[in-house]
Structure 1
Amino acid sequence: MQIETETRPDHFKGPVTVGDYVLKSKLGEGSFCTVWKAEHRLSGQEVALKQVYPSRLNRQLRNCFDCELNFLSSVNHPNIVRLFDVFRAEGCIFLVLEFCAGGSLASYLRHRGRVQEQIVRGFMQQLGAAMEILNSHHIIHRDLKPENILLSVPDDDAVLKISDFGLSRYVHPSDYAETVCGTALYMAPEVLQFQRYDEKVDMWSLGAILFELLNGYPPFRGRTNVQLLQNIKSCKRLPFSQLILPALDPDCVDMCSRLLSINPADRLSFNEFYRHIFLSREGVAT
């Protein structure tokens, strides 16, 4: 689901209230949910209200939704979007979530283009801090992408927050997942090849996000998933922009290349990523 620009539905003739919240505008929608910007009718607190349609959830999506609820209910971390409340109304389930005024990282990239390496380091430190929580709970997000990373404010010093755990899943360290899901441009090759996989699919996604932050475009493209996979497999060297490559920290290039290793066995694990010298050299995670 993409949480992007705000649009006010044409059918809104006046204030629409759901539970204790007044709907202000639509932030985004997916196949089984809609996200609204809303305001608590008494306190005035702005929130993101995720409206989930249970009738549209198959067994696998229901399991993912249960995982999302259980995980978000159990964590309170600055780099993971907060869940304040859950309630039922009009046959739907509503998740009351933290509203992030800075929009998504995808929107940030569209407006800023490629990002300076020092800012990228800070962003990746924050994502690492969030992924440490997922890792400790044995949660695979399975849809990490710029659209699902939100900013507290639309500035370079924003707090980044991982959101939309609608495809997330608990996977025991000795087990694997098999369901093909996610967004193709950020999907690990083992998923594209219908192979079983583990938490390293999220590491690939982080590598794709890191590459896009540095270059302003994703590492691999393709008109179809088959072509995308072919382009990944035929790649001998990541297509870094020659405008930035000479000035990039070699440790940054190393981390990106190792996150985007086609063979999961060669790919950085979470611990290897989080302890990588590129992240540890300056500063700590927010």
Structure 2
Amino acid sequence: MAAGFAPPKLRDFILTEKLGSGTYATVYKAFRKTDSREAVAVKVVSKKSLNKSSMENLLTEIEILKTVRHPHIVQLKDFQWDSDNIYLILEWCSGGDLSHFIRNCRILPERVARRCLQQIACSLQFLHEKNISHLDLKPQNILLSGNVLKLADFGFAQYMSPWDEQQALRGSPLYMAPEIVCRRYYDARVDLWSVGVILYEALFGRAPFASRSFAELEEKIRSEKPIELPSGARVSRDCRDLLLRLLERDPDRRITFDEFFLHPFVDLEHMPSAESLGKAKALVLQAVQKDQDGERSAALSLYCSALEHFVPAIHYETDRQKKEALRQKVNQYVSRAEELKALVRSDNKNSFEEARSTRNILIEMSRDQPRLLAALEVASTAVAQEESGAEDYDTLDLYQQSLGELLLALAAESQGRRRELLHSEMRETQTDESLKKDAAAESVRSSCCLQ
């Protein structure tokens, strides 16, 4: 439709401003002709513009959107047609798209990028369970409604099991997986590559293969040079790990859907949702009970777990007064967690020197096992960093790294003195890791201010 033309007439709706247009469709903002004046988006598809392939895509899009209902997927409210057009009446999202949001911010802080990623992952998990692949994931197709992200534009979507292969060129070049760009057979894993590109762009302000032409893009993707993060990029270990595993050119080496949904950076367990506050309250009640019973370490651990749900609960709450009341309540729990942390540290002071001695003996006994030795030295580095007052999250990263290796070593160790010492070291490292998690109380205070 030419730019100066008036929007088409549609029964029950008044079409107003044009929001965007593509090869086959134009999207308008519209209002329902009722007392409610409900705002909607209307996707107008000209029948004349449709060939056989695009008609099949449109019918699949309608079929998929009719059957899916999810808080992070744009809802199809109705569809109509007349002699000229097909109309999809869609949920209205007032915040524009993620591309516009990223451009306005230039880059997103990791904390904000993670919130966005969690919502995208939540919608993809729902689609994956129904064998639906979106096949055109990009920031322009992710809409904002308040602080909620919603996946939109299912024009290329297909019912496709992970092992169903296709060869049709689908999606937008900058976000296409290498196997599509290089015209190889591909499957549902292309959506994971696109998520990696979106996360990269959110964090660094540009796509990893920003190019001036499709030929240049194809040349970069065909290159054997491994994908690297921008020099000086400051992202957490978990974030870096996820990015590089998503942006793996070879789909057989790329992170799987199940691994993606369980990845610690995605952390769907702690994403903001309607259930966040209920989980937080249940945990804090247990924490208060343990606190009253004098079980300081258990209380501290439960307070920390509760705070991991309270922060997303604050983020999810839209009522300003309720949000502020929740912040004040959380600050009380943060203060108590700080007090308990000091008390637990005092309780553990005597065992601290004993743990150091145990670790030194274990190091001497593990000279023949380089991997175990490296894990113990990482634990020693974490302790040294903690004593020197290093950043809590840097130290936590080291404790978690050491803990993973120690678990593997313990599983492989036969009965004997070294196994006993490993058990002791594991307990101490887990305690230290727990204390470092509790230091998240400090970041909770700042997070609460940023929500």
Task: State the TM-score, normalized to the length of structure 1.
Answer: 0.89
Structure 1 residues 90 and 22: alpha-carbon distance in aligned structure 2, compared to 1, 3 A threshold: farther
For 1:225-264, list aligned pairs within 5 A. 225-234=214-223, 236-243=225-232, 245=233, 247-264=234-251
Distance in 2 (CA, whole Å) between partners of 1:60 and 1:252 is 39
Deviation readout 1:178-231 (Å, 9 max, x if unpaired): 101211110111101111110111111000000000001111122332321221
Match of 1:67 among 36, 60, 65: 60
Deviation readout 1:71-117 (Å, 9 max, x if unpaired): 11111111000010111134211111011000000110111111010
Distance in 2 (CA, whole Å) between partners of 1:172 and 1:106 is 29
Verify: 1:273 aligned to 2:265, yes or no. Answer: no
Match of 2:99 among 101, 106, 122: 106
Alignment check: 8 A CA contact 2:163 2:188 kept: no
Verify: 1:206 aligned to 2:198, yes or no. Answer: no
Alignment check: 8 A CA contact 1:171 1:177 kept: no
Verify: 1:36 aligned to 2:23, yes or no. Answer: no
Structure 1 residues 282 and 216: alpha-carbon distance in aligned structure 2, compared to 1, 3 A threshold: farther
Alignment check: 8 A CA contact 1:16 1:22 kept: no
Displacement of 1:11:
4.1
Verify: 1:92 aligned to 2:82, yes or no. Answer: no
Identical amino acids, percent of aligned pairs: 37
Amino acid at match of 1:102: G
Alignment check: 8 A CA contact 2:181 2:218 kept: yes
Verify: 1:187 aligned to 2:180, yes or no. Answer: no
Q: Pick the structure with greater CA Rg.
A: 2
Distance in 1 (CA, whole Å) between partners of 2:55 and 2:82 is 18
Distance in 2 (CA, whole Å) between partners of 1:85 and 1:236 is 47
Structure 1 residues 273 and 172: alpha-carbon distance in aligned structure 2, compared to 1, 3 A threshold: closer
Q: Tell me, which stretches of 5 or more residues in structure 2 are unaligned?
A: 274-451
Distance in 2 (CA, whole Å) between partners of 1:233 and 1:25 is 42
Distance in 2 (CA, whole Å) between partners of 1:162 and 1:25 is 22
Structure 1 residues 16 and 198: alpha-carbon distance in aligned structure 2, compared to 1, 3 A threshold: closer
**Residue equivalent to 1:25:** 17
Displacement of 1:271:
1.4
Displacement of 1:233:
3.4
Distance in 2 (CA, whole Å) between partners of 1:11 and 1:212 is 35
Q: Which has the higher strand share?
A: 1
Distance in 1 (CA, whole Å) between partners of 2:52 and 2:257 is 29
Deviation readout 1:3-49 (Å, 9 max, x if unpaired): xxxxxx6444xx96411110110001111111000000113000000
Report the 3-state secondary structure (helix = DSSP H, G, I; strand = E; otherwise coil) of the residue aligned with 1:119.
helix
Q: Tell me, which stretches of 5 or more residues in structure 1 are unaligned?
A: 1-8
Report the 3-state secondary structure (helix = DSSP H, G, I; strand = E; otherwise coil) of the residue aligned with 1:279.
coil
RMSD (CA atoms): 1.9
Larger relative contact order (CA 8 Å, sep ≥ 6)? 1
Alignment check: 8 A CA contact 1:38 1:47 kept: yes
Task: State the TM-score, normalized to the length of structure 2.
Answer: 0.57
Alignment check: 8 A CA contact 1:129 1:285 kept: no
Match of 2:153 among 157, 164, 168: 164
Distance in 2 (CA, whole Å) between partners of 1:209 and 1:16 is 34
Report the 3-state secondary structure (helix = DSSP H, G, I; strand = E; otherwise coil) of the residue aligned with 2:196.
helix
Q: Which has the higher helix share?
A: 2
Amino acid at match of 2:243: C
Report the 3-state secondary structure (helix = DSSP H, G, I; strand = E; otherwise coil) of the residue aligned with 1:122.
helix
Structure 1 residues 53 and 17: alpha-carbon distance in aligned structure 2, compared to 1, 3 A threshold: closer
Structure 1 moving runs of 4+ over 4 Å: none
Range moving further from structure 2, 41-50 or 224-233:
224-233
